[in-house]
Structure 1
Amino acid sequence: MLMHEINKPTVVLRTNRGLLTCTRDADQRVSVDMGKPLLNWQDIPLTEEMDTTALPLSGNPTACSMGNPHCTFFVEDLGSVDVAAIGPMIETNPLFRNRTNVHFVQVIDRGRIRLRIWERGGGIPLGSGSCCCGAAIGGIRRGLLDDTVEVQCDGGTVKVQWDGIGSVFLTGSVKPVFYGKIVL
């Protein structure tokens, strides 16, 4: 919406993590440079030093940060996971100093995943950009996924690209979901 209102194909947004460059393509999709993922245990942050590609929790999830913490479980059958029961237990596990977003991922093939999310402090959303990135990063680090991944969430599908070194790019369609007016 902002790009449309100012008639520019690129905007830079200031976030707590830093500046994010958003670019609109010819098909009106928006790609966001989400920055480099944080992969070291102290940057996520975890409470103790460990390998973040296989945390010492049942299911050996991965962890990373995109400015907020992410914990990703890879499962055979996403439909059998009780996200509402398991999510809050993992979110508040003492391993996560600031709690964590929790992802449950079923790998469809090397370029596609299905994702369900327990969002830190928010419950089960239809989707989340940073969670899509965190889930794809976990699969790429584990060697389960290629560097471009279609992420299917309950609310729609996005594309995540990460070369394993630099910035993560999140691309998807956008549409307004709310209009409001601030009265001073």
Structure 2
Amino acid sequence: MSQPRRNQGPLLRFTKMHGLGNDFMVIDAISQPFRLRPDIIRELADRNVGIGFDQLLVVEPPGLPDVDFRYRIFNADGSEVEQCGNGARCFAKFVRDQRLTNKKVIRVQTARGVIELRLLKDGMVVVNMGVPELNPPAIPFAAECRKKAYTVEMGAETVELSAVSMGNPHAVVVVDDVESAPVSELGPRLENHPRFPSRANVGFLQIVSRSHARLRVYERGSGETLACGSGACAAVVAGCLQGLLESPVVVELRGGRLVVEWQGEGAPVMMEGPATSVFEGQLRLPGGSSGSRRRKPSRPHKQRI
């Protein structure tokens, strides 16, 4: 007679999604219990032994009045972050697809405030990303006063960048050509630069015309991704402030295009783009996944493509 398996945890349902190639594992934590340690998240994010994703998105009940859901985001390294624009679009599609709401306009609580998501008939999603923060202490960014661009020392070299918060900190560097930009070398150095005490997402912005830009982003805690919604918003804000761009702007990322609108200081940034479901599945978590033992999660079972 076979012995029962020990330390086996519950089944966890999830959906794999992406926004322009920026990919996510999305979990409904309203209808099922969910709690994972950072090391388990890192294993799930691993593209060789886990599901593989840039960020983990979690749907929770609201903690504030007049909002529909709470939206939590975890990077591939297990750290929790404040904002993810591509994830917000996937969040909107997920809660509609899962019949958690029938609203077309959804108010969502994030770690840095409330954002509004609007689903369009053509499957596109418009996200009100809120008013960008330009005051250095609030980004946070170490500077004596606010400027359109800052000079940051990198050893014997210096880099000119703009600092913007879209609910999460961004450094935006204007380059001649994103294809030859030193993303893999300069990205992690700026991400962890001491002038960004909470680290930073680093965008490399190429101006094609006043209404068209190209962008690559080295995301905090995840590395370079195919797209970054909040990074596109920060880049447009930085470009407009420097007189290089004029709203609306088509932002071309490696995974596709977003349309970003910003009417100037005091106005929110509006971002429009697609959200795509890839498959649904479930996996059995290791027993005590919220405890102290570290075990690899089982590989997911794909249910729908």
Identify which of 95, 115, 120 aligns with 2:195.
95
TM-score, structure 2 as length reference? 0.57
Report 1 or 2 for greater relative contact order, CA contacts < 8 Å, sequence distance ≥ 6.
2
- Cross-structure match for 1:3: 96
Q: Distance in 1 between matches of 2:180 and 2:225?
A: 18
Question: What is aligned with 2:107?
Answer: 12
The one-character-per-residue Cα deviations of 1:28-57 (angstroms, maximum 9, x if unpaired) are 211011110000111111123233411112
Q: CA RMSD in A?
A: 1.7
Q: In proportion to residue count, which structure has more strand? A: 2
- Which structure 2 residue ranges, 5 or more long, are not aligned? 1-92, 153-157, 286-305
Which residue pairs with 1:174 in the alignment? 275
CA deviation string 1:71-107 (max 9, x = no partner):
0011112121121111011111111111111000111
Deviation, 1:178, is 4.7
Looking at structure 1, the residues matched to 221 and 107 of structure 2 have their Cα atoms a distance apart, in angstroms, of: 27
Cα–Cα, structure 1 residues 19 and 178, in superposed 2: closer, same or farther, change >3 Å? farther
Match of 1:19, SS state, is strand
Task: Assess if the C-alpha contact under 8 Å between 2:141 and 2:163 holds in 1.
Answer: no
Is 1:31 the counterpart of 2:126? The answer is yes
What is the deviation of 1:182? 7.6
Looking at structure 2, the residues matched to 47 and 159 of structure 1 have their Cα atoms a distance apart, in angstroms, of 30
Between the aligned partners of 2:278 and 2:269, the Cα distance in structure 1 is 25
Q: Which has the larger radius of gyration?
A: 2
Match of 2:168 in 1: 68
Q: Is the 8 A contact 1:52 1:64 kept in 2?
A: no
Structure 1 gap segments, 5+ residues each:
none
The TM-score normalised by the length of structure 1 is: 0.93
Q: Do the aligned partners of residues 180 and 21 (structure 1) sit closer, same or farther apart at CA in structure 2, a change above 3 Å counting?
A: farther
2:208 corresponds to 1:108: yes
Give me the whole-angstrom Cα distance separating, in 2, the residues matched to 1:178 and 1:50: 48
**In 2: Cα distance, 1:48 partner to 1:75 partner:** 22
- Cα distance in 1 between the residues matched to 2:241 and 2:144: 18
Task: Tell whether 2:258 aligns with 1:158.
Answer: yes
Q: Distance in 1 between matches of 2:168 and 2:243?
A: 23
